[in-house]
């Protein structure tokens, strides 16, 4: 998809992130769950892509990035929103 615009919506109550892609083909919304990480590392959250791996790769390609960078960006936005809500 060329000329695509996107936005990210983070829902900290229901633990998901949604990517809204707008292009010449219309608007598409892709939702991925955010789950607490079971590993005892610095990252407290992980993105559950599951069976949507091909969809996620296509989104990354459309946004001209890699799946790992897209995953990290979504998790960063989610954790930033959590932090800002705690500071209110």
| Domain locations along the chain | 5-86
Over residues 23-72, the pLDDT tens digits come to: 777 889 999 999 987 665 555 889 999 999 999 999 998 888 999 999 99
Residue 67 has phi, psi (to 5 degrees) of: -55, -40
Residue 16, pLDDT above cutoff 80:
yes
Confidence of residue 77 (pLDDT cuts 50, 70, 90): very high
* Six token digits for residue 44: 């407290």
């Amino acid at each position: 998809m060329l000329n695509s615009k996107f936005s990210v919506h983070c829902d900290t109550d229901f633990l998901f992130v949604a990517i809204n892609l707008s292009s010449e083909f219309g608007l598409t919304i892709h939702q991925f769950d955010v789950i607490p990480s079971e590993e005892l590392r610095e990252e407290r959250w992980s993105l559950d892509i599951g069976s949507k791996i091909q969809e996620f790769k296509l989104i990354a390609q459309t946004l001209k990035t890699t799946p790992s960078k897209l995953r990290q960006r979504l998790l960063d936005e989610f954790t930033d929103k959590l932090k800002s809500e705690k500071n209110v």
